[in-house]
């Protein structure tokens, strides 16, 4: 697949800690989970972009609250959202193994079902042959050094969703939708204090945030090395929570509950 323009991806900060990801080719644009329409409209106008597509990962208001306003400003924009969830705006319902083709940017994204945070949560995976790293737009499923709360799904569902994402190529860039990385790393270090890669990531993230820079995107390789929810077989994590002989699902269930109160 040949792209007419180099694909650019930028974060649009929203609310306290959300990121609305904007993909563009200097003319056409895609936004992911636009909870707040105003910064999106401002960015589109500043960059002289036309909005062609809106991608929704799940139904929480901080991810969909701006859709109707964006559609009133850009009525030609097409919305994609989960087939397993209900929405009050016009959209094309998708689920795994559907593909979202965005002709204006010459890209196609695979839909991945990732229940856990919500039952109908989906992610979008962008892979271009012989080109840049793959990109994963995973909403509130996988975070920098963390994962989403279980508002609707079960630990089993979230664990398997994360395993599905972790099986993608290691260099895949991870574009999640909240700036939670630093707090997640603090929690991770309580579980795995001797993980040198974890300490290095914490110091690097601290420096980024002190300069008001995003900690994202990360990569699946970095998450596999530092994210406790992808490291449930770690002997140190098992020792920290006194579950030496537990299986990975038991460990995941325990540390997800611990993170709720951290």
Catalytic residues: 58, 60, 62-63, 117, 140, 178
Are 202 and 189 a contacting pair, CB within 8 Å? yes
Least Cα distance to 24 among 43, 42, 48, 8 occurs for 8
């Amino acid at each position: 697949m040949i792209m007419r323009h180099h694909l650019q991806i930028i974060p649009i900060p929203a609310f306290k800690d959300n990121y609305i990801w904007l993909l563009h080719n200097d003319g056409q644009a895609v936004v992911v989970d636009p909870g707040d329409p105003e910064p999106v409209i401002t960015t589109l106008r500043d960059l002289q972009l036309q909005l062609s597509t809106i991608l929704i990962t799940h139904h929480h208001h901080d991810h969909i609250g701006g859709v109707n306003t964006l559609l009133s400003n850009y009525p030609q924009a097409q919305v994609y959202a989960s087939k397993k969830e209900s929405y009050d705006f016009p959209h094309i319902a998708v689920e795994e193994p559907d593909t979202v083709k965005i002709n204006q940017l010459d890209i196609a994204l695979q839909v991945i079902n990732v229940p856990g945070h919500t039952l109908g949560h989906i992610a979008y995976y962008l892979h271009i042959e012989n080109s840049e790293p793959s990109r994963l737009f995973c909403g509130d499923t996988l975070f920098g050094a963390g994962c989403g709360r279980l508002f609707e799904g079960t630990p089993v569902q979230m664990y398997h969703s994360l395993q599905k994402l972790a099986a993608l190529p290691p260099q895949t860039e991870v574009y999640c939708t909240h700036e939670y990385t630093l707090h997640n790393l603090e929690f991770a270090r309580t579980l795995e204090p001797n993980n040198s890669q974890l300490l290095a990531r914490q110091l690097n993230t601290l420096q980024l945030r002190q300069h008001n820079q995003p900690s994202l995107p990360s990569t699946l390789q970095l998450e596999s090395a530092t994210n406790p929810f992808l490291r449930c077989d770690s002997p140190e994590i098992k020792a920290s929570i006194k579950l030496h002989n537990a299986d990975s699902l038991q460990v995941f269930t325990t540390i997800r509950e611990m993170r709720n109160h951290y």
